[in-house]
Amino acid sequence: MTRVPNRLAKEKSPYLLQHQYNPVDWYPWSEEAFAKAKEEDKPIFLSIGYSTCHWCHVMERESFEDEEVAKVLNDNYISIKVDREERPDLDHLYMTFCQVLTGQGGWPLTIIMTPEKKPFFAGTYFPKHSRGGLAGLIELLTKIAALWVGQREKLISTGDELTTFVIKESLEFSAGDLSAKVIDDAYQRLEHYFDREYGGFGHAPKFPTPHQLTILLRYYVVKGEKKALAMVEKSLEQMYKGGIFDHIGFGFSRYSTDRKWLVPHFEKMLYDNALLAMTYLEAYQVTAQDLYREIAEKIFAYVLREMTSPEGAFYSAEDADSEGVEGKFYLWTPEEIQEILGDDAGNSFCRIYDITKQGNFAGSNIPNLINSKLEDLAKIEAEYKEEREKLYQVRDKREHPFKDDKILTAWNGLMIAALAMGGRILDNAQYLSAAEKAFAFILNKLTDQKGRLLVRYRNGEAAYPAYLDDYAFLIWALLELYASTYKPKYLNKALALNKEMLDLFWDEEQKCLYLTGRDSEKILVRPKEIYDGALPAGASVAVLNLLKLANLTGEYELENKAQEFFYSCGEEIKANPMGHTYLLQAYLFSQTPISTVVVVEGEVQEESLPMLALLQKSFLPHTVSLYLSAETRELIEVIPFLTDYQALEGKTTAYFCQNKKCQTPIQELATFKKALSG
């Protein structure tokens, strides 16, 4: 029987296209859908998810592909599908409703609301029929349809009251002054929740949450607290040893379902791998431990091999499922290992990588090194390299998990930042070239005719006005590109995008940032977000960008905006410092004496290279640097104070400025090195 596609067949989102043959009469989010709901006097059934979401697939198989469920939906509702990665504004708004109504959230997100977009029911995953304490979708839909007919005023009243509450919660932060104590409070909370045996924070499920680790690195550098560094090292080592890291094909999965980091939720997200690569790179800078460098290199190997488009941009994610089974692509039995490697090598590999007959996941095995000692990891890495490669070649012939090949500006910004960091810290031209190529793609394909950034590109089409995250993460990428190349074009573009970001997103009344731009679609409320979850909030990244740009350019009104932002949500931060660890990195930056270093090239270009190498390879989270040479003098046009900096007597000269005061110019490398570390 030929399947007839629904309206989603015309969409570009891989997630929406996964539902194009459902018998449910899906609409994309559109005025057409809401007009139809008003015309037919029906409530809206809104389902939000993403293409690599395991439970989204389960709900589709159980319910949305089911004729009985489809009939109930088609007869009584107007059904709308949304890809949360294309529309983070809708996801954020309606997830807030879900959390207010139920006390929890997650995906798939299920909302039932009026044609005026006001929810009166929310939840996440529902099976077709009630089971195990979970309400069944059929029963829920039938009951709510009856209420819509018989008690509509009550549902509408619920929607109105809930919307009023959510608008107030979304628009208002509690203002208040911050002090250095909030940084100590964050550290103490992290220490309290730290898992001393397996690293990370809390029990299960466990997320890597890289910004909780990177603030600890900064706390260690600023305060000299060795325990902070120990928490970072333990976490990074245990995550790598666990099954959350793919020991055969590399890259990290999204999170671990257990305390040991053994059993991942197998989907791999671009943003996790970008943020983790940066964290391992910073740990390498701080400790000089080769293990961290090697893990960062493995992440990049995975991304450049599996997640890079022919044009050089980066895909979004890989699914947890293949052949309809979660994790199947990644699992092994001892028999498979022995058949590929032979008995002796196979037995040895199984012993080291925890491959057993009883299995560690659903009767099969996730390769891991949890039982290996830290001091043995380098030896294991070297001794089993050939075996891992053989297994990779065999695994590569299996049916691969679905790859979401849409290109998102925000997540590409993170990976560009990571690769730019990798290029300079590891002196790797391939990484830097990949970062520059990806940025060129964003510039050429993900901006409209007016130069406005867009959210998503796929199959020749870019769509949706960019959100705060897109701007903030791309400006972060540009700052990293500038630090890695000292090409003025990257700093110039960062300044231009930052100006545009403030024009589009700054709330002059409350002194904070909206998630959506002035020109974005008007929904119930213009949301704001400062919570640093799996991803740092766009606002948190934007504020640190403001501070860095202020110190690079001398435009200290940008620093004033950052200080206004901190005050606007100060009480929120103090109430939950662990939930704002990236924003607190920005606050720590604002409270630490910042060094602005200007290196002016002399008559012999090679003289400047050792100084630049020290700047680029050292961990200097509270230093910004500029490089002035014959090729980069255009910087003076946007940073006029650079006019005052000269190469004295024709020799490369470095200027250190702190608290708007400059020290004696430096020309000797040893003195320069001492000034950097001081």
User: What are the DSSP calls for 233-293, one per residue?
Assistant: HHHHHHHHHSTTB-TTT--B-SEESSTTS-SEE--EEHHHHHHHHHHHHHHHHHH--HHHH
Nearest to 80 by CA among 118, 41, 25: 25
CATH class of 595-677: alpha beta
Question: Mean of the pLDDT values across residues 425-431?
Answer: 98
Alpha-carbon span 457 to 235, nearest angstrom? 35
Share of the chain above pLDDT 90, in %: 95
Nearest to 247 by CA among 347, 372, 358, 344: 372
Burial 249-277 (b: 16+ CB within 10 A, else e): bbbbbbbbbbbbbbbbbbbbbbbbbbbbb
What tokens appear for 325 in the block?
């089974």
Residue type, 488: P
pLDDT band for position 2 (cuts 50, 70, 90): low
pLDDT of res. 168: 82
The CA-to-CA distance between both ends of the chain, in Å, stands at 74
Q: Are 636 and 642 in contact (CB under 8 A)?
A: yes
Supply the pLDDT for residue 605.
Answer: 86
pLDDT of residue 659: 80
Q: What is the dihedral of CA 515, 521, 523, 526, to 10 degrees?
A: 30
- Residue 66 has what pLDDT? 97
Residue 152: pLDDT band with limits 50, 70, 90: very high
Q: What are the pLDDT digits (tens) for 637-648?
A: 999 999 989 999
* β 454-458/407-408 pair status: antiparallel
Give the pLDDT score at 172: 78
- Indicate the average pLDDT of the chain: 96
pTM higher than the cut 0.85: yes
Under the banding of pLDDT at 50, 70 and 90, the label for residue 650 is very high
pLDDT at 465: 97
For range 290-303, the mean pLDDT: 98
Tell which residue, 193, 324, 206, has the closest CA to residue 265. Answer: 206
CATH topology classification for 7-171: Glutaredoxin (3.40.30)
Between residues 581 and 522, which one has the greater pLDDT? 581
**Mean pLDDT across the stretch 398-420?**
98
Identify the pLDDT of residue 169: 75
Residue range(s) of every CATH 1.50.10.10 domain in the chain: 181-320+404-591
Examine the pLDDT at 216 and tell me if it is beyond 80: yes
Could you please state the CATH topology (level 3) that the domain comprising 181-320+404-591 is classified under: Glycosyltransferase (1.50.10)
Check whether 330 has a pLDDT greater than 90.
Answer: yes
pLDDT digits (tens, 9 = 90+) for 185-210: 999 999 999 999 999 999 999 999 99
Q: Is the pLDDT of residue 261 over 60?
A: yes
> What's the pLDDT score for residue 170?
66
Per-residue pLDDT of 583-593, as tens digits, reads 999 999 999 99
Residue range(s) occupied by CATH 3.40.30.10 in the chain: 7-171
What mean pLDDT do residues 147-156 have?
96
- pLDDT tens for 23-37 read 999 999 999 999 999
Query: How high is the pLDDT of residue 1?
Result: 55
Q: With cut-offs at 50, 70 and 90, classify the pLDDT of residue 662.
A: confident
